Structure 1
Amino acid sequence: MSAQTDRVLFEAICTPARSLDRRGMRLLASALLLLSLLVGGVSALCGAWPVLGFAGAETLLVLGLMALHRRGAARSMEMLVLTEGSLTIRRTDARGRRESLTLDPYWARLRLEERPGRVSLLVLQQRQRQVEIGRLLGEEQKRDLAAALQEALRRYREPVFDNPQLRDG
């Protein structure tokens, strides 16, 4: 391959939204632990001491599931790369499994399907093959990605050539 075919025309990296950073997670975990200790302590003082163990176990389960979800969200990503020869979709899921798909950008068509009450579906289609993209994104981010990728595909299919001989002057 020549350097010309490797030139990146468009690149997008999609990651899931993560509303809490490490500090926020620590604060939330501390608040949950404190609340659990408070409920367990009041229950123990009232004579229902077994509640203390159940409240602690429930809190540890919730914090463990949150940590597991956070770790998976940190791994999940989708990368779209449009070059002069291909449109490549590389995905990594929450478990770290990787998948790569390549489409011909000239024949790829982008479709945003509205779904009432749910996040829209963003689909790349090439002949009989359909690939959902932007699974990790919310509604607004999908619309932004659709507009940007649609524009990049349009520029790819309709290149503007600069011929000095055709310039006025």
Structure 2
Amino acid sequence: MSSRADTVLFEAICTPARSLGQRGMLALCLALGLASAVTGGLFLWLGAWPVLGFSGGEAMLVLGLLALHRRWAARTAEVLVLTEGALTIRRTDARGRREELVLDPYWTRLRLEERPGRVSLLVLRRRGEAVEIGRLLGEDQKRDLAAALDAALRRWREPVFDNPQLR
């Protein structure tokens, strides 16, 4: 049985943008391999055969680093959960390390700080302490998260009670 303190009022999961899916990664690997083979073949035809090894090595290095970046980005996440008793921020970084912050939602204030020429900061403030959230998000996603979280915090602070006797 769930208690009132465990009721989830708001939950948001922030992950980095991953525009390249599995099929896109395969297409990129094939295109890079083909370009490397054509370049290596051209230099082999011109008699500069040592370039062939470097061309293949570069392609393998680029693909390896891209695969490593994709694996690290898949682990990275930030989860915001508002319950009756707390606002919890759970973060997992690229190395798998986890961090959890628990804030009192009544005293926590949300602020979107504009920075000209850069992505805005989304900050939760309480009693002189500031915690940045939504680091993985772009400008539009931060604005959406700010609006949704602000509305959830406002509903939590100013509940509307339905009294059937007053109807």
- Fold shared per TM-score above 0.5: yes
Q: Which residue is equivalent to 1:88?
A: 88
The one-character-per-residue Cα deviations of 1:80-131 (angstroms, maximum 9, x if unpaired) are 0000000000000111000000000001001111111111110011112111
Measure how far apart 1:5 and its partner are: 1.1
Deviates further, 43-52 or 98-107? 43-52
Which residue does the alignment assign to 2:129? 129
* Match in the other structure for 2:97: 97
Partner Cα distance (2:113, 2:96) in 1: 28
**How far did 1:159 drift?**
0.3
Matched-pair identity in %: 75
Give the letter aligned to residue 86 of structure 2. S
Matched, 1:152 2:160: no
CA distance in 1, matches of 2:163, 2:88: 31
Instruction: Give 1:107's aligned amino acid.
Output: W
Aligned to 2:18: 18
**Separation in 2 of the partners of 1:133 and 1:150?**
13
Counterpart Cα distance in 2 of 1:150 and 1:157: 10
Counterpart position of 1:36: 36
The CA distance in 2 between the partners of 1:23 and 1:164, in whole Å, is 56
SS of alignment partner, residue 5 of structure 2: coil
**Residues 3-55 of structure 1 deviation map (CA, whole Å, 9 limit, x = unaligned):** 11110000000011101111110110110011011111101111111111111
Secondary structure of 1:5's partner? Answer: helix
Q: Superposed, which structure 2 residues align to 1:153-168 within 5 Å?
A: 153-167=153-167
Alpha-carbon distance in 2 for matches of 1:32, 1:12: 37
Structure-1 separation of matches of 2:117 and 2:51: 39
What is the DSSP-based 3-state SS (H/G/I as helix, E as strand, rest coil) of the residue aligned with 1:115?
A: coil
Secondary structure of the structure 1 residue equivalent to 2:144 = helix
Q: For the residues of structure 1 that align with 2:130 and 2:50, how far apart are their CA atoms?
A: 54
CA deviation map 1:48-80 (0-9, x unaligned)? 111111111111110001000000111110000
- Secondary structure of the equivalent of 1:11? strand
In structure 1, the residue matched to 2:69 is 69
Detail structure 1 runs of 4+ shifted over 4 Å in the superposition: none
Structure 2 unaligned spans of 5+: none
Unmatched segments (≥5 aa) in structure 1? none
Number of aligned positions between the proteins: 167
Supply the distance in 2 between the matched residues of 1:61 and 1:119 (Cα, whole angstroms). Answer: 31
